[in-house]
Structure 1
Amino acid sequence: MRLTLEPKLIPRGMGIAVISVMLLTFTWVAMVSLQGHDIGEPYAPTQQVRQLRFEDRADGSIAVIEFISGQQIHSVVGESGFVRGVLRGLAQERKREGFDSSRPFELIGHTDGRLTLIDPVTKRKVDLDSFGPTNAENFLRMLTKPVKEQK
């Protein structure tokens, strides 16, 4: 019985060239990202901004409070995994850097319809539309819900 080798699909030199280009690309992206440059799409102009605080409640819900009026405008109940995940990540970063939760987050609606949640304390930005329209819609309600007038 005689063994035969399959012919090479890619010549060795070309394989090395392709791998080299890939490694250079990954290295360049990593360097740019680590230097703090934003390599995403530029943000459209701001259309609406709302400063919000988020407070955990005893019943497991999260109260969404408009910072300026101090009024609760929304409540996150049940699973709401996306909202809870985003808020948990931002809160953990604040805690890790030694900040408390007293300062508000900024929920920004852009003229192109995109939403961004920014932590002015840590400078972290979360592009909410990156996670799909259904997830972004949860935050859109917080941006557009009117504040009830107190009597």
Structure 2
Amino acid sequence: MSGLQASTLTRKIAPDHFPQWVLYCAAGIIAFSLISVGLVRITGNGPDQKAAAPTVQRSLVFQDHNDGGVRVEDGVTGKTLTVLQGEQGFVRGTLRALTRERYSRGIGSELPFELIARVDGRVTLFDPSTGQRVDLESFGPTNTGEFARFLAMQPE
């Protein structure tokens, strides 16, 4: 073996190093995230911000029928506003999401929901028994209208 080959074989190979810039970037992203969340919480501009004042509010009770329909009652008077027949996908899906939480807490369907139209044009379906709410405008004007019509309905 020549001297060049021998020195190459005996020289220690340096271990791989993780690039420090990656660690600095990760630390920066984490710090930015924590600061952003802190600012949103402090300023109150987060998803749990205070809702606008209500313009119209109505208590509603939804009762399933054996024939697959859903009876919508005024939560105060108990009078029937309408009976929903057919698929009613958005209404049923929204109610299913809210009633799932009720049943997990052992709360029945006899307690009313609150349907609230707000000054800023938003419509919210709120369950006072669980504290859950669905901001209906998030699903578009057609789906919001499916619930908003209950605000103006008179008993049958």
Q: TM-score, normalization: structure 2? A: 0.72
- CA deviations on 1:89-146 (whole Å, 9 max, x unpaired) are 1111001011111211100011122101111100111101111111110000111112
Q: Aligned pairs, how many?
A: 133
Q: Who is 2:46 aligned against?
A: 39
Larger helix percent: 2
**1:146 to 1:38, Cα distance in 2 relative to 1, 3 A:** farther
User: Which secondary structure state, in structure 2, belongs to the residue aligned with residue 85 of structure 1?
Assistant: helix
Q: Percent identity?
A: 39
List gaps (5 residues or longer) in structure 1: 1-10
Using the alignment, how far apart are the partners of 1:131 and 1:86 within structure 2?
A: 11
1:81 and 2:104 matched = no
1:61 matches 2:63: no
Q: How does 1:89-108 map to 2 (within 5 A)?
A: 89-108=97-116
SS in 2 for 1:116: strand
Range moving further from structure 2, 39-48 or 60-69:
39-48
* Rounded Cα–Cα distance in structure 2 between residues aligned with 1:95 and 1:135: 25
Q: 1:68: how far off?
A: 1.4
Change beyond 3 A, Cα 1:12–1:111:
same
Cα 1:137/1:23, change in 2 over 3 Å: farther
Q: Quick check: which has more Rg, 1 or 2?
A: 2
Structure 2 Cα separation of the partners of residues 69 and 53 of structure 1: 10
- What TM-score results when the alignment is normalised by the length of structure 1? 0.74
Judging changes above 3 Å, is the alpha-carbon distance between structure 1 residues 101 and 17 closer, same or farther for their aligned structure 2 residues? same
Alignment RMSD (CA, Å): 2.9
